[in-house]
Amino acid sequence: MLPEVKTANWVRNPIDSFTLAKLEANGLTPAAEADRRTLARRLSLDLIGLPPAPEVVDHFVADTSLDAYEKLVDALMASPRYGEHRARYWLDVARYADTHGLHIDNYYEIWPYRDWVINAFNQNMHFDEFTIEQLAGDLLPNPTQSQLIATGFHRCNITTAEGGTIPEENLANYARDRVETTSWVWLGLTANCAVCHDHKFDPITTKDFYSMSAFFRNTTQEHTDKNIRDTAPVMVLPEGKDLERWKSIPGEITAANAAIAERRKQIVPDFEKWFQATTPAEVSTRIGATLVSLPLNEGSGKEVHGSIAGAEQTLSREQDYQWKPGKAGQGLVVDKGSTLDLGDVADFERTQAFSVSAWVHVTGNGSLISRMDVAKGYRGWDINIKDKEILVYLVNKWPENSILVTTQGAPLRPNDWRHITVTYDGAGKAGGVRISVNGVESKMRVANNTLTDTIRAVTPLRVGQRSTGEFFSGEVQDLQIFTRKLAPIEIQGLMRMPEALLGAAKAVAQRSPRDKTQLSEVYFAGDASAVANSHKLVQLDNEQKGIQARSVVTGIQQERMDTQPMAHILYRGQYDQPRDEVGAAVFSALHPLPKGAPHNRLGLAEWLMDANNPLTARVTINRMWQEVFGAGLVKSAEDFGIMSEPPSHPALLDWLAVEFRESGWDMKHMMRLIVTSATYRQSAALTRDKLERDPQNRLLSRGPRFRMDAEMVRDYALAATGELSPKIGGASVKPYQPEGVWEAVAMPGSNTREYKPDTGESLYRRSIYTFWKRSAPPPAMEAFNAPTRETSCLRRERTDTPIQALVTLNGEQFVEAARVLATHALKAAINEGDSPFDYIARHLLGRSLRPQEIAIVKKSQHDLLERYTAHPDEAKALLAVGDTKLDASLPEPQLAAWTMTCNQLMNLDEVLNK
């Protein structure tokens, strides 16, 4: 099975047989094993992504046992830092980030998924389980919280809430991203060509593409992310007492709903009795504690009638009132020439709960109803219409002592009657004002929330104006005021009132079935038990929302239960050109769905991990290889298709794939195999011969050496200086970043517009925890080829640019780190008599400096000391960089000079390279 090799004693494990055979076939010999210091550093960087502590290196160098190397490997793989390092690669694949990605690009909370990934690697979750939980954890029987969090994988795609976008287009884009990502990650196939046309080179048809997309189109996710952090579906992760309540609230909601339904049945006989005898006057006050009830449906004459403060009253005037068709029957025209004065009523205090309900047809702006004294600093209250919005004023003195809440989204219509309800809980805060339109609570905005004193006003209650001015323009029906907060069920009843009143005015025999329905809704809305439960539902809903708002949440996938996965083939990929409908299906050229697998994401995940699938094991192990060697055995990690470069070691790739599968998809086992091979342990030194014959190290004629990824470059500096925080997991953090990076690109309304760096420990967390705004990724990382995380990235580029040099030379994080390292080095020199050069080199390079190097560094150091001695102001300025407190016991010019020496050495090619 394994290839024959000449120098068999070089072989440490089967990997080496393959690589050595290839080298021998090409007339090359392997490089010598790297020295132990180099190996300790390489292993540490590959396994935990951090440089080794000097003691770790020393211990390894001194360890004469036969398995010293394996012991080091095991120790590193057991470190929780291992999971963080592996997770970082996977988060590129998962396109994980902390904002939605498009347009406003607000904060999006899904970091518990990031922690799940870290934990999965640390627990050595096997790759099949890892796959299934991420793609379909929600479809497993009785999924655990962890399995649900795992489904965040396909909730990491970019989303939008741009106004004007078309829902179908957004949903098509999300599904497309998920098909492409799945296909790259597990199959190494670039399905993206098949969005528009059958793949030119690989056997993927457009039908295949959209059939695959059906798997991902049957979730409850909406087309818009709504610019909120908890874009549904989410998993809420409450803690402590909240967790208990969070678990019991759904049951209480069900119980309250059941009680309402039960009550509805119970009262039928009472209603039937009532129905036979009721009158318009009784109906109009059925919903209790009415302070004012004006049906405003007379339709002619000089009088309107109603109940005001418990008494039947008539409001008459000299000329006829004007009427127009209303919600039901006729409605009263209210405008500058026709407003109503209701007298000294509804003189509410700030602490008085109240509600107002009315049917309106607006043709302009102005006050619907108010008790407001304009001359007295607008003292009082007013429900006002402006540009199709409803404004609720509660004013002591405008504007400094007032509440103003307005609807958003212009819910009123010039051509349509709308039912408005305003409720106020009497708590003196804008949050206690609720506005509903046609029984649905509106989106609201708090414009003022500064009320602290009374709102009682010496002026009559008026319909259609304030004490002066703000004349209403339109028609009104069934205006009611209550001295309490209405429950939703009562609002539903009030909506029916105009029709119910007309119905009640008819003889019983003349009433239509619709009349009866409307009357029954009004009757039910006046039932104390139903109202109590309706209030309870509101309270439970508020409690639930409150818990969600203060808890950590994370985006998950949730299958729709009412529909089967399906999709349309989109002509040329255009969402508005749907063609044939297709069900969920896997790529037709590959193996079929396993027998008995469900036609949903779980089936898809099982298909990917199926024994008949030749691709997943290969593409996965290839990426693992790429992490360690810098390039995969197939260089195009995302593309194993016909247009890809063939593998450098096809038989090795095969062997690894089989080994991976036969190990039960054990990722740690595979990583251990790779790093314990002789191939891996080679020195990275290049000879002229190898440079010519194996310039890219595709033949693996030497050990891996390449510039570290963005996160490693920063983490390296933090670890070498001892600043790195040991904390694992939690919300993303904001370390140093130059000013204005977010501001330059962010939309005005974005909540990720201003970057405010954290303080303390959060400045020194591992880079995997750095907050990632997709439209402005951390600039120091971007400079080092970090992806934007907008789409899945299976292979980072590795370019060398001058901007990178500027980051590590001038970036605040790096300059501060240099000062901290210099401080430690000087302290060690004072306390232990160590050479600062040696201290710095051992922490940065894992070795001591060589004589030639010392000469150069000493010369620099000497010049720097001279400079900073002559320019103490410069020393002071340099040492002020970064939040870490300056060690005042050290002379500033000396510390500054050593800081710049550290800055110099932290920029060594050797430091920046693995």
Partner 1 sequence: MHPLDARSLYQTRRQFLGRGANVLGFAALASLLGRDPHALALDAAAHPLVPHFAPKAKQVIYLHMVGGPSQMDLFDHKPEMAQWYDKDLPDSIRRGQRLTTMTSGQTRFPIAPSKYKFAKYGQCGMEMNAELLPYLSQCADELCLVRSMNTEAINHEPAITFMQTGNQVTGRPCLGSWVSYGLGSLNQNLPTFVVLVAEPTNREQLQAISGKLWTAGYLPGEHAGVAFRSKGDPILYINNPPGVAMETRRKTLDGLDALNQLNYNALGDPETHTRISQYEMAYRMQASVPELTDFSKEPAGTFELYGAEAKKAGSFANSALLARRLVERGVRFVQIYHNNWDHHSNVSGRLPDQCRDVDQPCYALIQDLKQRGLLDETLIIWGGEFGRTIYSQGGLTTTNYGRDHHPRCFSMWMAGGGTKPGTVYGETDDFSYNIVRDPVPVHDFHATILQLLGFDHRRLSYRYQGLDGRLTGVEEAHVVKALLA
Least distance to partner 1, CB of residue 817, Å? 12
| Nearer to partner 1 among residue 492 and residue 804 (C-beta) | 804
Rama region for 188: left / alpha / beta (φ>0; ψ in -120 to 50; rest): left
Return the number of other C-beta atoms located less than 10 Å from residue 850's C-beta: 9
**Amino acid at residue number 497:** M
Least distance to partner 1, CB of residue 871, Å? 8
Least distance to partner 1, CB of residue 206, Å? 13
Q: Over 107-155, what HEC string results?
A: ECCCHHHHHHHHHHHHCCCCHHHHHHHHHHHHHCCCCCHHHHHHHHHHH
Least distance to partner 1, CB of residue 644, Å? 5
Least distance to partner 1, CB of residue 697, Å? 10
Least distance to partner 1, CB of residue 875, Å? 6
Q: At what angle do helices 497-505 and 513-525 cross, to 10 degrees?
A: 120
Residue with tokens 């132990």: 36
| Nearer to partner 1 among residue 422 and residue 818 (C-beta) | 818
Least distance to partner 1, CB of residue 433, Å? 27
Alpha carbons 713 and 181: distance in angstroms, whole number: 27
| Nearer to partner 1 among residue 556 and residue 864 (C-beta) | 864
| Nearer to partner 1 among residue 143 and residue 280 (C-beta) | 143
Least distance to partner 1, CB of residue 41, Å? 14
Alpha helices in 507-583 (DSSP H): 513-525, 528-550
| Nearer to partner 1 among residue 731 and residue 877 (C-beta) | 877
Of 340, 397, 407, 400, give the one whose Cα is nearest residue 373: 397
Least distance to partner 1, CB of residue 802, Å? 4
Least distance to partner 1, CB of residue 801, Å? 6
DSSP string, 805-870: HHHHHH-HHHHHHHHHHHHHHHHHHHHH---HHHHHHHHHHSSPPPHHHHHHHHHHHHHHHHHHHH
Least distance to partner 1, CB of residue 331, Å? 22
| Nearer to partner 1 among residue 61 and residue 741 (C-beta) | 741
Alpha carbons 509 and 506: distance in angstroms, whole number: 8
| Nearer to partner 1 among residue 69 and residue 665 (C-beta) | 665
| Nearer to partner 1 among residue 89 and residue 348 (C-beta) | 89
Specify the DSSP class assigned to residue 768.
G
Say if residues 463 and 479 touch (Cβ distance below 8 Å): yes
**Amino acid at residue number 622:** N
Least distance to partner 1, CB of residue 534, Å? 32
Alpha helices in 164-301 (DSSP H): 167-182, 206-216, 240-266, 268-277, 280-284
| Nearer to partner 1 among residue 308 and residue 437 (C-beta) | 437
Tokens of 650: 């096809």
Say if residues 355 and 487 touch (Cβ distance below 8 Å): no
Tokens of 261: 């339904």
CA 169 and chain centroid, separation: 21
Alpha carbons 420 and 477: distance in angstroms, whole number: 11
Say if residues 470 and 370 touch (Cβ distance below 8 Å): yes
Alpha carbons 226 and 221: distance in angstroms, whole number: 11
| Nearer to partner 1 among residue 197 and residue 247 (C-beta) | 197
Return the number of other C-beta atoms located less than 10 Å from residue 574's C-beta: 12
| Nearer to partner 1 among residue 534 and residue 813 (C-beta) | 813
| Nearer to partner 1 among residue 252 and residue 790 (C-beta) | 790
